[in-house]
Structure formats: structure tokens, C-alpha cells
Amino acid sequence: MAEDMSIESYLAQGGVLTNPTNVPPRYRAELLKLMATFVDSELAGAAGFADIINEGPGIKERIAAARIVLEKTDNADRVLRIMGEFGADTARYATHHPWTARLERDADIGATRTEHDMRLAVFNYPLQGWADAVVMNLLMGRAVVVQMAEFSMVSYQPLADAFRAIAPIEAHHAELAEEGLAKLLEDGDKTAIQASVDYWWPRVAASFGSAESKKFDTLKGWGLRHSSNAELRNRWTAEAGAVLERLDLKAG
Amino acid sequence: MARFHDLRVTDIHKTTRDAVVVTLEPVNGAAEEFKFLAGQYLTFRRDFDGEELRRSYSICAGTDEGILQVGIKKVDGGAFSTWANEELKVGDTLQAMPPMGSFHTDLNPENENQYLGFAGGSGITPILSIIKTALKTEPKSNFTLVYANKGVNSIMFREELEDLKNLYMGRFNVIHVLEQDAQEIDLFTGMVTEEKCAQLFKSGWIDIEHVDMAFICGPEQMMLGIAKALRDHGLDDGQIKFELFASAQPGRLKRKVASKGSASSANQATVAISLDGATQTITMGKDVSILDAALENNIDAPYACKAGVCSTCRCKVLEGEVEMVANHALEDYEVEKGYVLSCQSFPLTDKVVVDYDQ
């Protein structure tokens, strides 16, 4: 049996790694970054949405919002536990940072992250009331669906397994948001909702990262990425655009 | 953070000439922590000449056998496996972290599943645990094992597998594929490659169309070939579980290079930073963290929390000294080897050399 295959060529040929002991150093760092990005985004997203629960117009809406907060926190926990197997202090990690912190609504930060956490840029913008939160959840929810499909293929098997379990839960959040938005449109202010779509659309689009990523080839070689940022964004544009069309709204 | 516990060796016996089966018992009331899922592994640590080595070995016992058991095959030049095969004895104490790993599937007595396992050499250990646990827990499920070895003499758990065949008559089937020893059926001689798998599927030895879940544990090349064959025959990624062989773990770690830098009171330090094979030397203030200095100089150093918690920014100090002001992620043995969290590390000496690639 060929026993002298390098981990790098094994990964390049589609091999998967299964525990922290057989992970090369640079792969380890990029894997941890990927996990931190997910955990930080989920924790920041859940924390921001928690404040909105009480603005829900009815008990069904509040249950849906509370459930989303619960499940996003739970999804963060699943991935954080994998970070813990690499040595991260999971208890401290979950509380070391003010996840509710937001910038100004009109701050223009593009795709850059803030200094102190890895949340996607979009989670640095504050929500403005219930309808705005539902729109954000719909657009970002569809983006997460696209991202989960991509990251369910990562070459670190415990993480791929976690994302495969998380994907349908996140997809359901986008469905809840779509139902919620349809209801709001029945008896709500369509102009305000369209304004929210216009606000969030470019910001969610930016969360896919720049089209030119120098690192992509390396990450692809390691099996940590498969489709490019541009491909993922195009997929989201098509899918989220179709949802908006169903609701008779315009994509930004 | 995962902690190490003491385990006492209650039994040790050879399963082949160069592999032992070690039975362990948690001491100091840690039994609860060592409940495991079929297919999980234990990570052991031991000090060899002042250097800590960690090795992971899969548990080969079924979950309801009430014991912890691992199989350890001697690897050429492997300090831990050689020691376990030649010196370890009943009554000794080993240190291990609680079981980890996701090489398993949820079992349910109602399931009527067809499982398929591929093991290469000592890759049998986690699969044996899954076979025993699945057949016992799911009375209506079947398991087919394809087991690759060099020759008859190197087959680990050969008798135990025969016993399982008798115990679960008709529900458990083993196909031994031997590299060197000729067998009655030509198909069972050689290596388990993508082509070999395709032949096994085509010839009807394996009913691939009805397989619900496949498990593969062996060396890299073998896993790639089998996974390709399984995907080509309709299994999706969620139906293929991998566990990478112990031999793929990094070999003995090199000793830390002795520090050459000398302490100084100046405020500036020259720091050489290696990342992705390239080295850049920068001049930085001693009041700036290595990570921030790297980022300011457009070095794309990895980081996430910047609070000493997540360990993403880990690098190794090859020369000089740094002060790590907080550390919630690296363990003592990593620090001893020279690893630091670059977000929390400030130069102490005038010259520092760090490497993110090690």
C-alpha cells in the first residue's frame, strides 16, 4: 500500500481529515478562521436578533424570532465545540466579546471586519425595527443556505458533519423570514420594506467576500473551499432574487 | 479545554505479531467521562526523554461491552506504538483525553440499514467498534466489511471477526483482501483500489445500490480510491464516513531550536516572520504584538479572536524570546515546544524569528 502520501497531496485529491492531530499548521489556522467566522456571525446575529423579539407583532412572530435566536446560538455552539478540540477555550470564547455591539446604520465598511471579531461585515450593521429585521433575516438567511452548501463539503470531516446538520436549520430560518415578510406585505408598508431590501441587499452581497481572493487557490487545494466567492454570490443573487420576485419586491 | 485522565491497564494481549490490544479502566472516578460512541478515539500522552508525545488510537470495543479497549499496531520508528507493544504491562497507568471524533452514525433499533466498512490494517479498530455496536443495537441491520491486509499473518482481530460472523449469522460478512497471499478467489488478492471496489460492486459481492452508510479507515491512498468508487456508485458525502489512519499523524517532533537572541532594553525589535513559505523581516516596537505588527506590514497572518482564546494565531518561536501576556488556548506542552499565541506575544529580545508554518 502506498503509505508515503503527503497530507497536502491527499487533500488536493479530495481527501478528508478527521481529527486535530493530523491537521497541518497552516490548514489548522485557516480552518479555525473559517470556524471563528461562522461562530462569531451566528453569535452576533443571534444577539442582534434577540433585541428584536419583543417587537414582533404577534405571539407567533415572537416564537419564530425566539426560536431563531435559540437555534443560531445552538449552531454556534456546535462549531465552537469543534474549535474546542483544537484548544480554544469555549466557555471564555462565547462570552469574551460584546456580541450585541453594532456600528452606525450608515457606516460604510464594505467587506472588512472589525478589529476584534470575525463576524461577517453585514453583522456589524444595526437592525431598525421588526420589518427591517425580517428582511435582513430573509436575505442573509438565503446567503447562509448558499454558504452552508459550500461548507458542508469542507475537508475537515467533523466540521462538514456539523454544517450538514446545521444547513436544514438555517434553511428553515430563511423560510420563516419569507413567511413573515409575506404576512407583513399583506398589511404593511411596502415602501418601507423595499427600502430595507435596498439597504440590506448590497451589504449581504458583500458578505461573500471579494471576487478576487488570492487565498482561494490555497484554500481550494486544501479542500476548505470549492466554489469561488463570485460563484457563491451569483448563486445567492439568483436564489434571493427569485424569492423577492415571488413577494413582488425588487432586488437591490 | 479537554483534560487528561489516568487510565489503568487491566489487560494486554497480542492480536498479531506486532499489534497489541490494550484494555483500560478509568481511575479516580473518571468513568463517566469515558463513555464513548462507536468509532471514537482516545488521545494518549506520554513523555519520551523529556518530550511529550501525543498519539490517538481508536477504541475497538463495542459501546455496551463495558470496557475501554484500543488496538495499537507497532509503526516503524514510532516511539509510542513501540513502547506500547514492547514495554506496556498490566497495572501500568496511561493518560488519555476523553473520547473524541465523529466517525460514527446514529443507531436506532428500528433501522434496517445496510452498512459497508472498509478497513486497511489497523484501520480495523474503529470499524470493529462500529460493527459490534451496530449489529447489537440494530437487529435488522447488516454489515459487510472489506478488510485489506498484507497477508494472513497481519490480520488484526481475525478470530474475533470469525466469532462475530457466527454470532450474527447472515448479518455480518467479511471479505478479506490480501496484498501478498493468494486466495481462492482472484478478486480478493491485491490492494483495495477504486478499480477493486468497482469490481466488488459489479460482481455482486457487495450490493452497493442498497448501502445506507459506508465507513472507511485506512491509509490516504486507499481512502481516496474507495471514496471515489463509492461516489461514482451513487453515495453522497453524508453517507461516507472517514477516519484517517494513525500512521498519517506527524512523526516525532523536532526539538526546539536553542534560543540565540539575547535580552536587551531597546524598544525596537527585528522580527522575521515566516508564513506560507515566505519570510519577511520587519522592525517593530516591543509594545506591539507580533500579530499586529505582521498585519500592519501586510502579512496575512491568521487570527480570529485576538483575545488569546481561540488559538487561530498560533505560531512557533524559533529564535529569540517573546512574552505571552495571556493564554487561554495553548497547553503547557505546546508552550514548551515554543508555540505562542501571536496576538498576545510581545518581543523581549532584539531579534525574534517566528514561523506560522510549523
- ipTM value, please give it: 0.74
Give the C-alpha separation, A214 to A219, whole Å.
Answer: 10
Tell me the residue type at B168.
Y
A86 with B97: CB under 8 angstroms? no
Contacts of residues A2-5 at CB distance under 8 Å and 24 or more positions apart, as own/partner, are A2/B219, A2/B220, A2/B221, A3/B219, A3/B221, A3/B247, A5/B219, A5/B220, A5/B221
The domain boundary residue, chosen from B216, B248, B280: B248
Region of B29 please: left (phi>0), alpha (psi -120 to 50) or beta: left
Region of A185 please: left (phi>0), alpha (psi -120 to 50) or beta: alpha
How many folded domains does chain B comprise?
Answer: 3
Quick one: pLDDT band at residue A3, thresholds 50, 70, 90?
low
Q: Which of A111-120, A147-156, A177-186, B81-90 has the lowest mean pLDDT?
A: A111-120
Kindly state whether residues B234 and B281 are assigned to the same domain.
no
pLDDT in the model for residue A114: 66
The domain boundary residue, chosen from B219, B248, B277: B248
Task: Say whether residue A152 is in contact with chain B using an 8 A CB cutoff.
Answer: yes
Kindly state whether residues B232 and B272 are assigned to the same domain.
no
Kindly state whether residues B204 and B325 are assigned to the same domain.
no
Kindly state whether residues B137 and B193 are assigned to the same domain.
yes
Tell me the residue type at B177.
V
Q: What is the mean pLDDT of chain A?
A: 91
A 10 A CB-CB count for B26 gives 18
- Binding-face residues of B in 155-174 toward A, CB within 8 A: none
pLDDT in the model for residue B259: 33
pLDDT for A209 beyond 50: yes
Could you give the angle at which helices A229-246 and A129-151 cross, rounded to 10 degrees?
140
Q: Is B232 contained in some domain? A: yes
Kindly state whether residues B242 and B128 are assigned to the same domain.
yes
DSSP of B204-241, one letter per residue?
TSS-GGG--EEEEEE-HHHHHHHHHHHHHTT--GGGEE
Task: Say whether residue A14 is in contact with chain B using an 8 A CB cutoff.
Answer: yes
Give me A8's grid cell. 497536502
Contacts B356 to A, Cβ<8 Å: 25-26, 29
Instruction: Enumerate residues 6+ apart whose C-beta is below 8 A from B196.
Output: B177, B187, B190, B225
Q: How far is CA B47 from the centre of its chain?
A: 19
Contacts B312 to A, Cβ<8 Å: 29, 32-33, 36
- Binding-face residues of A in 73-132 toward B, CB within 8 A: 83-90, 92-93, 96-97, 115-118
Instruction: Enumerate residues 6+ apart whose C-beta is below 8 A from A108.
Output: none
pLDDT tens string B205-225: 999 999 999 999 998 889 999
Contacts A2 to B, Cβ<8 Å: 219-221
Q: Is B173 contained in some domain? A: yes
The domain boundary residue, chosen from B34, B65, B96: B96
pTM of the model: 0.81
Regions of chain B with pLDDT less than 50: 1, 247-265
pLDDT in the model for residue B176: 95
Kindly state whether residues B285 and B323 are assigned to the same domain.
yes
Kindly state whether residues B134 and B231 are assigned to the same domain.
yes
Q: What is the CA radius of gyration of chain B?
A: 24
> Phi and psi at residue B99, in whole multiples of 5°?
-55, 140
Contacts B224 to A, Cβ<8 Å: 10, 13-15
Under CATH, what is the fold of the domain A18-101+115-246? Answer: Ferritin (1.20.1260)
Task: Say whether residue B357 is in contact with chain A using an 8 A CB cutoff.
Answer: yes
Q: How far is CA B37 from the centre of its chain?
A: 15
pLDDT in the model for residue B264: 47
DSSP of A57-79, one letter per residue?
SSHHHHHHHHHHHHHHHHHHHHH
pLDDT in the model for residue B54: 80
Domain around B314? 268-355
What percentage of chain A reaches a pLDDT higher than 90? 73
**Residue B151, domain CATH:** 3.40.50.80
Task: Say whether residue B313 is in contact with chain A using an 8 A CB cutoff.
Answer: yes
pLDDT in the model for residue A183: 93
Kindly state whether residues B23 and B120 are assigned to the same domain.
no
C-alpha angle B317-A224-B309 in degrees, rounded to nearest 5: 45
pLDDT tens string B169-193: 999 999 999 998 888 888 999 999 9
Kindly state whether residues B59 and B172 are assigned to the same domain.
no
Task: Say whether residue B175 is in contact with chain A using an 8 A CB cutoff.
Answer: no
Interface test with B, best of A6, A9, A32 (most B CBs within 10 A): A32
A 10 A CB-CB count for A186 gives 7
Q: Is B172 contained in some domain? A: yes
Q: Is B78 contained in some domain? A: yes
pLDDT in the model for residue B4: 86
Tell me the residue type at B142.
N
**Using the beta-carbon criterion (under 8 Å), do B314 and A28 form an inter-chain contact?**
yes
Region of B308 please: left (phi>0), alpha (psi -120 to 50) or beta: left
pLDDT tens string A56-97: 999 999 999 999 999 999 999 999 999 999 989 999 898 878
Q: Is B261 contained in some domain? A: no
Q: Grid coordinates 508564513 are at which residue? A: B275
Task: Say whether residue A161 is in contact with chain B using an 8 A CB cutoff.
Answer: yes
Give the C-alpha separation, B80 to B252, whole Å.
Answer: 10
3-class secondary-structure state, position B120: strand
- Give kind and range of the element (H or E) at residue A91: helix A90-95
Give me B270's grid cell. 527585528
